[in-house]
Chains A and B, each alone.
Chain A
Amino acid sequence: MEEALIRVKDLCKIYNPGENEVRALDHINLEIDKGEFVAIIGQSGSGKSTFMNMLGCLDVPTSGEYFLNGTDVSTMEDNELSEVRNREIGFIFQGFNLISNLTAIENVELPLVYRGVDRKTRHKLAVESLTMVGLEKRMDHKPNEMSGGQQQRVAIARALAAQPPVILADEPTGNLDSASSKEILEILKSMHKQGKTVILITHDNGIAAQARRVVRIIDGKIESDFINENYGKEEYVKNQLDA
């Protein structure tokens, strides 16, 4: 059997260990295969943000294992985690998180700069991914010269340019109006269609309902994990997994 892209086993994150300890994540077990479109849903305080930090290798668990693309990343050092984030994960944040004094294309090139990709290749990849999100005419604009929707598309282009196996979107539509939200969700769906693994973290049921698979987190535990039957009929479901 092929190894899952993401395999989380007994993952715990405990803040303030001792008397006032907070169990943000409490023995989470989850597998996500290559090519899935998963929504992780939970209210604020449910631990979904902590879980997203773990999945994104921004933070290390207190205990448990996390295999990403076959390697155990739960015990890695800072610099190794940076390397993993750079190669394996494309982030899309709620607040876009673009660097304000860089142009769109410079922002998109940034992960490739840290990977050490040469300038020509970098430029080519950045242009490709900006074109993919329909911003080929705005490449030299700075973030503050663009609308929220456009900024988020730049962020998506940035996540795509590095060609990571996992796209991790944390409330990507949280700061956007409904029209832009729809656009962004369409882009995420099309990325899924192209074979990317997309993990969408949200508190919004309506948005979660757009995903193929929905994982609900309550109080640091997985409460439910089901396949969304209403997901686009033409979608070919490769790997179904039960909780």
Chain B
Amino acid sequence: MPSNIYIVDDDESVCRALKTLLMTYGFEVRTFNSAQNFFDAVPNDEPGCLLLDIHMPGLDGWETQKLILASGSKRSVIFISAEKQDSALDRALKLGAIGFLQKPVNGQTLVDLINVTSKIKDRD
């Protein structure tokens, strides 16, 4: 059974490209242009890994992750942003995310990280 992936990024081109790439790995992918759209469409308990951009109008990535944590959801989150690696990775991990990848992100690296999250989930 293919795992679900959600992508939240205000850049449509990024959404479409990442979706195309991840689909070649057999993932089921849905994209959203804002965190609000994602919250409206996907219930907290619906399984699936979230790829989350940081700089977005409205709710930014950090605030979105805080809301997810506050809702009690156990969703695995991977931040994907053009933000600099050193400070952002630290902050992402502190916020309970699985990881942080700097754009432009290499497909295989991303998929490896997603697979790690599903292994963690399996162990749970």
Do these two chains interact? no
Residues of B that sit less than 8 Å from A by CB: none
